[in-house]
């Protein structure tokens, strides 16, 4: 781009000089007019007169045309130069005004950014035109600059997503594994993974993988087959009864671990499986109520540590607060009972506070009405029992059946074998002994524990899913226990009991109804 610098005053002076030249030429023509038009007579004859007249006419015409041309040319030149001077003067004024406006806007931006008022710069008066000087223009009051619009932050271009390298094997959508610790002790602990299928299709052939921390090793597992024992990596595949996980359900995989040093949970869980196309038929598992039941306002209250009473059907209800003297009370109805007071607390790695329960048979010399127990196992065709539990979401407790067996006929004292069925439990508690496997009885899946409480053998069946209402044959559990314990048909069934073992809390836990019939 080129720039032209023009001095308007110089153009005005030049126009004046050109006008002066025009005046000088006009004067010269006028001076020459007389000699040209006033030629001396050449003769007095007619020819000379004619020639003289012709030449005089031509001279006059020349002078007239010359004067017109000179006047027109000089007038146009002067007019053009004067107009050019005015145009350049006007352009200079416009440029100066524009620059002042830009300066004011810049000062406004600086003021906005710094918070200081912008200095006021008076406008320079407009220069006068060449033809007629004018009064300098009154300085324009600077317009408050418009607050500049904050520039819109340009949208950051979306970075192309780097394709995720698929993990092999792929975890199906909706399949997850949640870890929890059932119990801990010096040198070991019980861990559990709950595998949940939140999808709309069944998942089969699942596999669980996890990494044990340094100093820990899995010693046994249940709810699945431990197929890899190369510490610290472990892999568990399904048992025969839980190979397929129905939509909206879960299975549990437990293990016992030995550890040295500080406890740390396993890491890097990976659960895989194959989505199915149809939903298998699975037994409906009653859910645990989220709100505690209303405590009974009537009924018989038993607060004595070993107090008991009889209800409809001749069944015995006992407080049995053997580890909590004076801190437990139950309210008894015609068909069951509810825990209404529980003031004690027991360590979760030890014995519970008691076993408030209802039973059929004979227990420590106290027999239910019309019972045929003790009875030899070989004489029993069935031992049908039914229960309807009420659960609460607070406290630490289990809901359990007790099936008592003895190698001899006895109505007092401690029996030789206890079979416990954990229908439900809450808190970091576990049965005595250690898990030895799992089994499915009458459609319900249980983790099996074997141990001793120091007085008798205890075989425990912990339900993988809470059971609230159930009717079953107690002989199914007796027969399964007989495959692992020295129980024969000559042994005696002494009682069938249903109740709760609280470690702390548990007010509102109750048995709505109970029955047991041995044929």
Q: Which residues form the catalytic set?
A: 418, 501
Q: Where are the beta strands (DSSP E) in 281-395?
A: 300-302, 308-310, 316-318, 328-332, 337-342, 357-363, 366-367, 375-376, 383-390
- The two structure tokens encoding residue 135: 């009064």
- The two structure tokens encoding residue 357: 């329960």
Element of type H or E holding 68: helix 46-114
Element of type H or E holding 220: strand 216-222
Do the Cβ atoms of 406 and 363 come closer than 8 Å?
no
Apex CA 453: angle with CA 451 and CA 457, to 5°? 55
Task: Tell me the three state secondary structure of residue 30.
Answer: helix
- The two structure tokens encoding residue 203: 């998942």
Q: What is the distance, to the nearest Å, from the Cα of residue 308 to the centroid of all Cα atoms in its chain?
A: 53
Do the Cβ atoms of 470 and 514 come closer than 8 Å?
no
- Interatomic CA distance for residues 295 and 510, integer angstroms: 9
- Interatomic CA distance for residues 73 and 374, integer angstroms: 148
- Interatomic CA distance for residues 109 and 289, integer angstroms: 67
The C-alpha R_g of the chain, in whole angstroms, comes to 57
How far, CA to CA in Å, does 8 sit from each of 53, 82, 430? 51, 9, 107
**502 beta partners:** 397
- The two structure tokens encoding residue 220: 């046994």
- The long-range contacts involving 228-234, CB below 8 angstroms and separated by at least 24 positions, are 233/209, 234/209, 234/210, 234/266
- Interatomic CA distance for residues 359 and 371, integer angstroms: 10
Which residues, 6 or more positions from 22, have their beta carbon under 8 angstroms from its beta carbon?
A: 70, 71, 73, 74, 75, 78
Task: Tell me the three state secondary structure of residue 267.
Answer: strand
How far, CA to CA in Å, does 453 sit from each of 410, 417, 457? 20, 11, 7
Apex CA 456: angle with CA 455 and CA 457, to 5°? 140
Do the Cβ atoms of 188 and 258 come closer than 8 Å?
yes
In the sheet that holds 300-302, the strands lie side by side as 300-302, 328-332, 337-342, 510-518, 383-390, 469-473
């Amino acid at each position: 781009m080129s720039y032209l610098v023009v001095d308007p005053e110089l153009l005005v002076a030049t126009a004046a000089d050109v006008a002066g030249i025009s005046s000088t030429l006009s004067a010269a023509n006028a001076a020459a007019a007389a000699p040209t038009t006033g030629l001396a007579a050449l003769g007095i004859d007619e020819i000379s007169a004619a020639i003289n007249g012709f030449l005089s006419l031509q001279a006059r015409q020349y002078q007239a045309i010359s004067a017109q041309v000179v006047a027109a040319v000089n007038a146009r030149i002067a007019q053009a130069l004067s107009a050019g001077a005015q145009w350049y003067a006007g352009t200079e004024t416009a440029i100066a005004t524009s620059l002042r406006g830009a300066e004011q806007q810049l000062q406004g931006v600086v003021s906005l950014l710094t918070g200081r008022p912008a200095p006021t710069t008076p406008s320079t008066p407009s220069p006068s035109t060449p033809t007629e000087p004018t009064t300098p223009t009154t300085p324009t009051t600077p317009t408050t600059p418009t607050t500049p619009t904050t520039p819109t932050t340009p949208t950051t271009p979306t970075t192309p997503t780097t394709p995720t390298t698929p993990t092999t094997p792929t975890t199906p959508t909706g399949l997850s594994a949640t870890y929890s610790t059932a119990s801990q002790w010096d040198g070991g602990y019980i861990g559990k993974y709950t595998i949940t299928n939140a999808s709309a299709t069944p998942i089969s052939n699942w596999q669980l993988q996890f990494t044990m921390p340094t100093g820990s090793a899995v010693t046994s597992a249940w709810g699945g087959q431990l197929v890899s024992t190369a510490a610290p990596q472990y892999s568990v595949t399904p048992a025969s009864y839980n190979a397929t996980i129905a939509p909206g359900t879960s299975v549990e995989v437990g293990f016992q671990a030995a550890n040295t040093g500080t406890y740390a949970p396993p890491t890097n869980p990976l659960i895989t499986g194959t989505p199915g196309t149809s939903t298998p038929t699975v037994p409906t598992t009653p859910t645990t109520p989220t709100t505690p039941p209303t405590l009974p306002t009537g009924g018989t209250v038993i607060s004595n540590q070993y107090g008991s009473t009889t209800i409809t059907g001749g069944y015995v209800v006992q407080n049995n607060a053997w580890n909590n003297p004076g801190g437990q009370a139950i309210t008894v109805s015609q068909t069951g009972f509810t825990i209404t007071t529980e003031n004690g607390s027991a360590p979760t790695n030890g014995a519970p506070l008691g076993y408030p329960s209802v039973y059929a048979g004979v227990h420590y010399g106290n027999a239910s009405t019309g019972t045929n127990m003790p009875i030899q196992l070989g004489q029993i065709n069935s031992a049908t029992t039914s229960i309807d539990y009420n659960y609460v979401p607070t406290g630490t407790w289990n809901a359990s059946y007790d099936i008592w067996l003895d190698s001899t006929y006895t109505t007092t004292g401690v029996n030789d074998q206890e079979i416990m069925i954990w229908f439900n439990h809450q808190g970091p508690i576990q049965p005595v002994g250690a898990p030895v496997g799992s089994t499915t009885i009458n459609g319900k899946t249980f983790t099996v524990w074997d141990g001793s409480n120091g007085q008798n053998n205890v075989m425990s069946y912990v339900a993988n899913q809470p059971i609230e209402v159930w009717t079953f044959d107690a002989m199914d559990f007796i027969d399964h226990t007989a495959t692992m314990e020295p129980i024969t048909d000559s042994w005696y069934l002494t009682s069938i009991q249903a109740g709760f073992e609280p470690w702390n809390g548990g007010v509102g836990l109750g048995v709505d109804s109970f029955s047991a019939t041995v044929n």
